[in-house]
Amino acid sequence: MTQKTSEPIVNLLNPKALRHFLLLLCAVGISGLALTHHYATQYQHDQWQQKLERQAAQVSQEVDYELAKFEQIPNLLSHDPRLLKAVERGTPSQELNLLLSDWLKQSLADTIYVHDRTGLVIASSNFQQEDTFVGSSFSYRPYFKNARRGEPAQYVGLGVRSNKRGYFFSSPLWVNEEVVGVITVKVNLEQLEQRLSQTTTDVLITDKHNVVFMSNLPDWRYRALFPLSSSAIIELTETRQYGDTLPEYFGELTAHSGVTEFDDNQLLLSPNYLAYATHLLDKGFRVVALINHNSVLAAVLQADIVFLILYALIALIALAWFQTLVNKARLAHLNVSLEEKVVQRTLVLSEANQKLQQTTRQYEQSQQELKQTQQELTQAAKLALLGELSASINHEINQPLSALRTYTENSQRLLAMEKYPMVADNLGKMLTLNDTISEVIARLKVFTRKATHDSHNEISVLHDAVHTATSILSNKLIKQGVTLKVPAIDYDVKLAIHSVELEQVLINLFHNAAQAMENHCIDPQISIAVQCHDDSCDILVSDNGPGMSDEALAKIFDPFFTTKPEGLGLGLTISKRILESYHGSLCAYKHQSTEQQAGGMTFIVTLPIVNQNKRTPEVENDHE
């Protein structure tokens, strides 16, 4: 056994082993850094290409959209008889100057001017300015030449007279199938250029010769991105597109890149910039979005630094691991005689490990069973909550829907009698009921949880709540022949409860009373009484119906208990829960039968009062 372990032990204890291991770590680190730098650079290029492509496309659309607003103006104006008549005379006209000035105000262009056959400007909207175009000849401009041949033209250039950049739209003026002149609309590019300052990257807009005429980098204006060809120099000189000075080529973007022309929709890599150029658009310009290479290098440098930090940690761990191997080799060399004891201890540890694994499996099984039980309990709670909400929605919306049906039937009869104002009034009440249904649905969550004090700061006016509740059920009560006795309630009686929930409780009590008396009373009556105390208010709702048994009275607030065949038994339960959530209460007692009264029930709603008021007078008004 000593002979088997002696060779690797000797290798690890060799002084050169550490040197070889360090050289291996350095080689792996250099290779990893090179790969990280390469892929980080490629990733940054891909990311910036997408960003620059989106930016260039967005700017292209914006510029094209803004210029398109003026594109059809020359063609539309070229058909005006006043313009054609004045141009046919071929002499300057003050009347034509004023006409062009009026058109300019409507078009929002920079200048509108008219040439005769020779290119001489005979009228211009800037006739009153010192740098007026009137009397100037622009026969050398391509936009005039093309329009003189009968073709609409577009052109970008620096104004010879105004020394302002502009985009020119021109159209021929036809008289008797002959071009007698040209009308030109100049668009000021400086306002359009201001929008480029809002972009997230640097943007250049160039003409067909790759000369920058708009940019959010002022120093780049009138620069050529590539060396100008001889034909381009001749054309720029003849047309004076950028004045008397030719655009200079500085090579910031393309120097030392070996690129002599933009490849459409491709990323241009240069020592200083990353650039993306769109194709040459119909209006004769392309958009170049670029970013300084320092931004890319900074991101790549961050990736390199992160790799170096991580690799340094890995190298330290590897070095510690290697040192551990060396220490183990030394211990093995010194403790070969203890191998048998190590084997015995290993067997003991193996048995303990097996027991530990068995215990772990039992623990995991128990955890799984516990999780399954929790999931089943959660699902059962969800189903119970869903059932309670479904029953609540059915019960709480049924009463407004019944009122809606009553109003609908009443409106049909009123329509037949042509009582349109009353129909309109019913329709308004139906809309109010629809809003009530929506608000009740929004409030249903109050029924399923105990509200906190912070969520119950609402205040309701008792007078308004009683009025709303009785209004909703008035048609039903009238149809059933119920006499409703309502006291004069002071407007100052304010209760600590949301008005919609108070109305819902009152509606439920009124509706229950009406149902209890239906087909059981000759003269059904519902009376309301209000008793205000120092810090609370009692609302008593009484009827003269048949009442109920003591057994039913004991269960009246239990969920799903009802004495009606069509009821769900949730109305009083929900009403009681609403009042209790506002620190109120709901109780009931039955009347003793007398010779004057067969029986009946009284429900008492108790709620905290907000403002201390005097006791409300018990003055009753009968409404049938």
Q: How far apart are CA 208 and CA 235, in angstroms?
A: 12
Q: What is the pLDDT of residues 26-39, one digit of tens each?
A: 888 898 888 888 88
pLDDT on residue 13: 64
Q: How far apart are CA 54 and CA 213, in angstroms?
A: 21
pLDDT on residue 390: 52
pLDDT on residue 446: 38
Domains of the chain: 12-311 (3.30.450.20), 450-623 (3.30.565.10)
pLDDT on residue 508: 83
Q: How far apart are CA 440 and CA 458, in angstroms?
A: 15
Other C-beta atoms lying within 10 Å of the C-beta of residue 34: 11
Distances (CA, A) of 584 to 263, 593, 607: 79, 29, 4
CB 605 within 8 A of CB 509: yes
DSSP-based three-state secondary structure for 114: strand
CB 222 within 8 A of CB 247: yes
pLDDT on residue 258: 62
pLDDT on residue 273: 78
**The residue to which tokens 């211990």 are assigned:** 331
Beta strands 525-532 and 483-487 are parallel
CB 326 within 8 A of CB 8: no
Beta strands in 517-581 (DSSP E): 525-532, 536-543
| CA angle (530 as vertex; 438, 604 as ends), nearest 5 | 70
Q: Which residues of the chain have pLDDT under 70?
A: 1-15, 254-260, 264-266, 271, 280, 333, 337, 370-371, 373-396, 439-457, 475, 565-569, 593-598, 611-624
Q: Name the DSSP letter for residue 338.
A: G
pLDDT on residue 378: 35
The radius of gyration computed from the CA coordinates of the chain, to the nearest angstrom, equals: 46
